[in-house]
Amino acid sequence: MNGAQDLGGMMGFGPVAGEPEGEVFHADWEKRALALTIASGALGEWNIDMSRHARETLHPTDYLASSYYEVWIKGLEKLLVARGLVTSEEIAASSVLHAPRPTSPPLAAADVAPALAKGTPCDRPPQAPARFKVGEAVRTLNVNPSGHTRLPRYARGKRGRIERVHGVFIFPDANAHGLGPSAQWLYLVCFPASELWGREGDPDLDVSIDAWESYLEDAAG
């Protein structure tokens, strides 16, 4: 969806301020925000793409006024309410007001590191040959989906070239809405800056994005 989270290529937000290497959290509550997100995700009530979509559906004013982990917590609250694990009244009261709904067993603290190291494989065996090959010219679709997508606005309707064929992976646009993996071929597509930004683009700059097959069409088409 075209939300406040899709800032690539937009102007007027000022320079990106770098932070010291190794500085992960700015306050103790941010550590708790990360821990709550991981623990809640381990309940199996949603997947990572649903979690991303919950954050990007925050109102743009709210999203842009929130810090990184504030966005995480607000997205988590939306997921918890949607799945019936808490109510809006409980969040407002910061207290349990109803008997909890049964879920999968929670993730124990000792199991967090092994679970994160293991990850969740998102690659799948191919069911058909890849449509495109390295070096082939392609064009991204010019679309404005109302749901989740990983195709940024600045790269829509643009000509690029296949730089790498990654393999077959879960399609986030479907997975975020509970429609299953819908796995597709995933490509690394390279665009010259002039294609993305026009004649003011740096002639020595290329930008590469990961793009699922359904985002792409033959450049000659």
Per-residue model confidence as pLDDT tens digits over 58-68: 999 999 999 99
Domain assignment present for residue 11? The answer is no
**184 φ/ψ angles, rounded to the nearest 5 degrees:** -140, 165
Q: Which residues constitute the domain of residue 193?
A: 137-218
- 180-196 pLDDT tens trace: 999 999 999 999 999 99
154 domain residue, yes or no: yes
89, 118, 147 - which closes a domain = 118
| Residue 20 located in a structural domain | no
Provide the pLDDT for residue 17: 83
CB 86 within 8 A of CB 80: yes
The amino acid at residue 105 is P
Same domain, 209 and 149: yes
pLDDT tens profile 93-133: 999 999 988 998 888 888 888 888 888 899 999 999 999 99
Asked if residue 170 lies in contact with residue 181, where contact means CB atoms within 8 angstroms, the answer is yes
Residue 3 forms part of a structural domain: no
- Could you tell me the CA-to-CA distances from 207 to 20, 35, 74, 137, 156 in Å, in that order? 26, 34, 31, 15, 13
Domain-terminating residue out of 83, 118, 153: 118
Considering the domain architecture, whether residues 154 and 206 belong to the same structural domain is answered as: yes
Enter the DSSP assignment of 27. Answer: S
Alpha-carbon span 49 to 8, nearest angstrom: 19
Residues 163, 207: Cα–Cα separation, whole Å? 11
Q: In angstroms, rounded to a whole number, what is the distance separating the alpha carbons of residues 155 and 98?
A: 46
111, 181: one domain: no
Last residue of a domain, one of 90, 118, 146: 118
Total Cβ atoms within 10 A of residue 100 = 9
CATH of the domain at 178: 2.30.30.50
Check whether residue 98 and residue 160 sit in a common domain: no
* H or E element, residue 70: helix 68-82
Q: What are phi and psi of 189, to 5 degrees?
A: -115, 130
In the chain, how many domains are there? 2
Q: Rounded to whole angstroms, how far apart are CA atoms 28 and 26?
A: 7
Residues 110 and 145 in one domain: no
Residues 68 and 41 in one domain: yes
Same domain for 210 and 174? yes
Residues 111 and 141 in one domain: no
For residue 17, tell me if it sits in a domain. no
Claim to verify: residue 111 and residue 165 sit in the same structural domain: no
